[in-house]
């Protein structure tokens, strides 16, 4: 294994100094301004004199500050630890403790709520806020220092349902391998402008940041999809070319917004990942924006972000498929004996590639279950067709056993969503004396009366 460039240098290598990097709340920041913002935060961080590889938390909404802090942490050879803003202060305290954070960059908009998480009996965690962005301090940006292979760049907490959160180690090499691959298969360019509605503490959101910075493109920040019309106004105003969302984003856009009615002529590429979007909604999405290429993708935090994609020209022939491995990733569907399944047979997806994490942070037991000799054990059950394209059936743990049948919660959710009156649907198995588990559906109805 050879050394990788430092990921912060890698991400900023291709951008023009005066090209716009970020748009936040109506203000555009150039790559030059992003570099000096990161340099200023690096200067403050360097003053703490932390040993190399120290974990430094990031807390706050997507912003210039968040991105600058992320770049500063990695540049100095430390490890960025993004925290979800949806956690409680107790959760943040526990997660910061799990990876022994030495410092944290916290946005002043959320700090009052979380300050208590960084006060410790043993010693407080150093807190740096966006006040550190103020001009006056000389930016510090040392020359290119290569990162050792396997050196951690980021620890990403998984949003898994297990009680103990897991911090996924993401190395400099992982990020760069996945970023290069995504740029290639999506055909991303320097003139692309992505509307980001996903948080950067989530691997999919982070991958949008990585890929568009690496291309020298523009990242348009839109805090969330809570107000779909405001997001669509922004997409129109900034003439975004790329839109990326998870299934619930598209459920909202298609069933509770004016997305389909708006022309949105700038939009050339739509990315969908983060779970299975029911085929009926994929069809609605294609019908709503026929000029935009739709990429259905599949990924996991343990794989940095992306693992597979379905080329847009296969969408109509293979509805419901996640396609096959992205460049540099090999996906195999294996049976219980570790053998590749024949077309039509059921197995579990395993992945190998340079984007696969070396494991969870200080959790050998968790690692052993997930990082196996066959590669990353995804936990997703699937079949393959004659062309080798993969169809996910469900999470291994998401099958409901009812009246002796194994029922895919995905399949019931997809069926329910064929009713246009619903925006989203979730199915679980509720313990039941007779059925074993009773199939139970939760649904959100569309707002307008029908």
Partner 1 sequence: MTEFIAANYLFGDTASVPREDESLVERGIIDSTGILELIQFIESRFEVEVSESETVPENLGSISNLAKFIMSKQKPAPATTKWP
448 part of the interface to partner 1, by CB under 8 A: yes
Figure out which of the listed residues 256, 285, 305, 425 binds partner 1, where binding follows CB under 8 A: 256
Figure out which of the listed residues 85, 278, 325, 375 binds partner 1, where binding follows CB under 8 A: 85
- What span, in angstroms and rounded, lies between the C-alpha atoms of 105 and 125? 10
258 part of the interface to partner 1, by CB under 8 A: yes
Figure out which of the listed residues 127, 415, 435, 445 binds partner 1, where binding follows CB under 8 A: 445
Q: Given the complex with partner 1, which of 71 and 256 has the nearer CB atom?
A: 256
Query: Shortest Cβ distance from residue 448 to partner 1 (Å)?
Result: 8
262 part of the interface to partner 1, by CB under 8 A: no
Question: Which residue reads 């074993």 in tokens?
Answer: 436
Q: In sequence order, which ranges of 104-197 are alpha helices (DSSP H)?
A: 111-114, 172-186
117 part of the interface to partner 1, by CB under 8 A: no
Tokens at 152, concatenated: 């951690």
Figure out which of the listed residues 126, 127, 280, 424 binds partner 1, where binding follows CB under 8 A: 424
Q: What share of the chain is helix, strand, coil (3-state, %, to 5)?
A: 30, 30, 40
- Across 291-353, the runs of DSSP E, i.e. the strands, are 293-299, 306-310, 321-325, 329-334, 347-353
3-state SS record for 200-257: CCCHHHHHHHHHHHHHCCEEEECCCCCCHHHHHHHHHHCCCCEEEECHHHHHHHHHCC
Query: Shortest Cβ distance from residue 61 to partner 1 (Å)?
Result: 7
Task: Give which of 244, 270, 253, 278 is closest to 394, Cα–Cα.
Answer: 278
Query: Shortest Cβ distance from residue 132 to partner 1 (Å)?
Result: 21
What is the rounded radius of gyration, in angstroms, for the C-alpha atoms of the chain?
A: 22
Query: Shortest Cβ distance from residue 413 to partner 1 (Å)?
Result: 15
Query: Shortest Cβ distance from residue 434 to partner 1 (Å)?
Result: 32
Q: Given the complex with partner 1, which of 119 and 229 has the nearer CB atom?
A: 229
Figure out which of the listed residues 32, 61, 190, 312 binds partner 1, where binding follows CB under 8 A: 61
Query: Shortest Cβ distance from residue 363 to partner 1 (Å)?
Result: 28
Figure out which of the listed residues 14, 158, 257, 440 binds partner 1, where binding follows CB under 8 A: 257
Query: Shortest Cβ distance from residue 315 to partner 1 (Å)?
Result: 25
Query: Which long-range CB contacts under 8 A does 110-114 form with residues at least 24 apart?
Result: 110/59, 110/60, 110/61, 110/85, 111/59, 113/89, 114/59, 114/89
Q: Given the complex with partner 1, which of 240 and 252 has the nearer CB atom?
A: 252
Beta bridge partners of 347: 382
Sequence-ordered list of residues with C-beta below 8 angstroms from that of 6, at least 6 positions apart, any chain: 74, 75, 77, 144, 145, 146, 147, 172
Where does this chain touch partner 1 (CB under 8 A) — which range of 31-39, 106-114, 272-280, 286-294? 106-114
Beta bridge partners of 80: 56, 154
- What span, in angstroms and rounded, lies between the C-alpha atoms of 203 and 184? 18
Number of residues binding to partner 1, judged by CB under 8 A = 27
Query: Shortest Cβ distance from residue 225 to partner 1 (Å)?
Result: 5
Figure out which of the listed residues 126, 286, 423, 428 binds partner 1, where binding follows CB under 8 A: 423
Note whether 280 and 307 are within 8 A (CB).
Answer: no
116 part of the interface to partner 1, by CB under 8 A: no
Q: Given the complex with partner 1, which of 111 and 435 has the nearer CB atom?
A: 111
Task: Name residues contacting partner 1, limited to 204-233 (CB under 8 A).
Answer: 223-230
Footprint of partner 1 (CB under 8 A)? 61, 85-86, 109-110, 113, 223-230, 248-249, 252, 256-258, 423-424, 444-445, 447-449
């Amino acid at each position: 294994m050879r050394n990788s460039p430092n990921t912060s240098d890698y991400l900023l290598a291709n951008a023009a100094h005066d090209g716009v990097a970020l748009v936040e709340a109506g203000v555009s920041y150039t790559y030059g301004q992003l570099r000096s913002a990161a340099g200023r935060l690096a200067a403050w961080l360097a003053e703490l004199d932390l040993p190399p590889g120290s974990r430094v938390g990031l807390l706050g909404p997507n912003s210039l500050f968040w991105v600058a802090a992320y770049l500063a942490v990695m540049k100095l050879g430390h490890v960025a630890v993004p925290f979800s803003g949806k956690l409680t202060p107790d959760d943040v305290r526990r997660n910061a403790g799990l990876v022994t954070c030495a410092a944290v960059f916290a946005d002043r908009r959320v700090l009052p709520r979380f300050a208590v998480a960084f006060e410790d009996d043993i010693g407080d965690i150093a807190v740096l806020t966006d006040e550190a962005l103020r001009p006056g301090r000389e930016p510090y940006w040392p020359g290119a220092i290569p990162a050792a292979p396997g050196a951690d760049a980021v620890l990403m907490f998984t949003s898994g349902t297990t009680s103990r959160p897991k911090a996924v180690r993401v190395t400099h090499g992982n990020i760069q391998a996945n970023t290069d691959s995504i740029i290639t298969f999506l055909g991303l360019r320097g003139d692309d402008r992505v509307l980001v509605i996903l948080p950067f503490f989530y691997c999919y959101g982070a991958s949008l940041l990585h890929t568009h910075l690496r291309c020298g493109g523009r990242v348009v920040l839109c805090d969330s999809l809570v107000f779909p019309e405001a997001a669509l106004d922004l997409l129109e105003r900034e003439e975004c070319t790329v839109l990326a969302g998870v299934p619930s984003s598209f459920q909202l856009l298609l069933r509770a917004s004016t997305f389909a009615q708006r022309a949105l002529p700038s939009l050339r590429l739509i990315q969908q990942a983060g779970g299975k979007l029911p085929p009926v909604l994929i069809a609605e999405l294609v019908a709503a924006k026929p000029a935009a290429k739709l990429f259905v993708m599949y990924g996991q935090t343990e794989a940095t972000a992306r693992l597979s994609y379905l080329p847009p020209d296969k969408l109509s022939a293979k509805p419901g498929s996640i396609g096959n491995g992205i460049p540099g990733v090999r996906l195999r569907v294996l049976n219980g004996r570790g053998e590749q399944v024949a077309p039509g047979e059921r197995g579990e997806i395993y992945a190998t590639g340079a984007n696969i994490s070396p494991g969870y942070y200080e959790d050998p037991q968790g690692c052993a279950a997930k990082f196996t000799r066959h590669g990353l054990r995804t936990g997703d059950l699937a079949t393959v067709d004659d062309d080798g394209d993969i169809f996910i059936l469900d999470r291994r743990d998401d099958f409901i056993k009812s009246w002796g049948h194994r029922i895919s919660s995905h399949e019931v959710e997809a069926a329910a969503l064929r009713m246009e009156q619903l925006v989203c649907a979730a199915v679980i198995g509720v313990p039941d004396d007779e059925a074993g588990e009773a199939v139970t559906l939760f649904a959100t109805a569309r707002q307008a009366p029908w």
